Amino acid sequence: MNNLSAGQIQYLRQHKKHQRIVCISRILILLSFLFIWEFTANVGIIDSFIFSSPSKIALCFWGMVKDGSIFLHMGVTLYETLASFFLVTFVSILASVALWFSSKLSEILDPYLVVLNSLPKSALAPLLIVWLGATKTTIIVAGMSVAIFGSILNLYTNFTTVDPGKIKLVYTLGGNRFHALSKVVLPSSIPAIISNMKVNIGLCLVGVIIGEFLAARNGLGYLIIYSSQVFKMDWLLMSIVLLCIMAMVLYAAIELIEKLCGKRF
């Protein structure tokens, strides 16, 4: 701090103050929402049977923690989401590399990738159940189907927009297409790959929940569809809250990877 000018110190103080205000405002909005929800449910402004309340959701969660059932549902959904996410990441990078190596292949497959990416993925889930059965594999494939085609298109587009001057330099120095890929294209595309991962983690979670709606016997998606059928609104809203928390944690993990890669590259 001693080496900074007065203007820089003032700027840093204002930036920290801004961050504190944003953080406190977010917490206050959340607490206000929970208080209004709890109050209106308790005094009868809203029907607590339909809308539940924060206290009822907390008690429901604690009850399922004590019998251990909630950990089974969360673990299943987390496993299926991570499995589909890692498979999407691996397959999309591999497919994008293959398309980058062969411009003819990319021209042939481009319209198919666009159509498959535009297709509503919820329409595929019943078909996957018929083909693969009501198994975890079906749910993982359903999670992949939501993200895979868009991921391939985005990564391939990024690969083709890498600075052509750098690639030409590799060829000038006697390198081949593989050298251009490993020395220029992939390192330059790391920010795009991580950005793609941040989108895919949420899409895979959505796809897994769609699959669990139709083909699961456990998991948060199954808990949501079952609780809606038997009108256990506490279970339903608790599952939605847990999904929100899970999505936030997974997104934060990708952001941490992004920061670590930013320091290294």
pTM across the whole model: 0.85
| pLDDT for 129 | 80
Name the strand (E) or helix (H) holding 210: helix 190-215
Residues 16, 134, single domain; the answer is no
Q: What is the mean pLDDT of each run of 10 residues along the chain (265 residues)?
A: 71 86 92 92 85 89 89 92 94 92 86 84 77 83 89 90 83 82 85 89 90 85 88 89 92 87 67
Q: What is the pLDDT of residue 264?
A: 66
What are the start-end ranges of the H helices in the chain? 6-43, 48-51, 54-67, 69-101, 103-118, 124-132, 136-160, 164-172, 177-180, 186-188, 190-215, 220-229, 233-264
**pLDDT, tens digit, for every residue of 56-89?**
999 999 988 988 889 999 999 999 999 999 999 9
Considering the domain architecture, whether residues 62 and 30 belong to the same structural domain is answered as no
The predicted structure's pLDDT at residue 125 = 76
Long-range contact list for 1-8, CB < 8 A, 24+ apart? none
Share of the chain above pLDDT 70, in %: 97
**How far apart are alpha carbons 169 and 197 in whole angstroms?**
30
Q: Are residues 142 and 35 in the same domain?
A: no
Residues 169 and 68: their CA atoms lie apart, in Å, by 59
Number of domains in the chain: 2
- What separation in angstroms does the CA of 53 have from each of 45, 181, 247? 12, 54, 22
**17 and 85 share one domain:** no
The answer as to whether 1 is a domain residue is no
Q: What pLDDT is stored for residue 263 in this prediction?
A: 66
CB atoms within 10 A of CB 41: 20
Please indicate, yes or no, if residue 175 is contained in any of the structural domains: yes
172-183 pLDDT, tens digit per residue, is 887 788 888 888
- What single DSSP character describes residue 151? H
In CATH, what number is assigned to the domain containing residue 176?
1.10.3720.10
- Do 80 and 146 sit in the same domain of this protein? yes
- How close are the terminal C-alpha atoms of the chain, in Å? 27
What span, in angstroms and rounded, lies between the C-alpha atoms of 109 and 105?
6
Same domain, 40 and 72: no
- Looking at the structure, do residues 179 and 115 belong to the same domain, yes or no? yes
Instruction: Tell whether 155 and 251 lie within a shared domain.
Output: yes
Compute the mean pLDDT over every residue in the chain, rounded to the nearest whole number.
Answer: 87
Domain that holds residue 177: 53-264
Identify whether 17 is part of a domain.
yes
In this structure, the answer to whether residues 104 and 31 fall within a common structural domain is: no
Helix (H, G, I), strand (E, B) or coil at 47: coil
* Pair 117, 206 in one domain: yes
76 and 29, same structural domain? no
Residues 110 and 215 both lie in one domain: yes
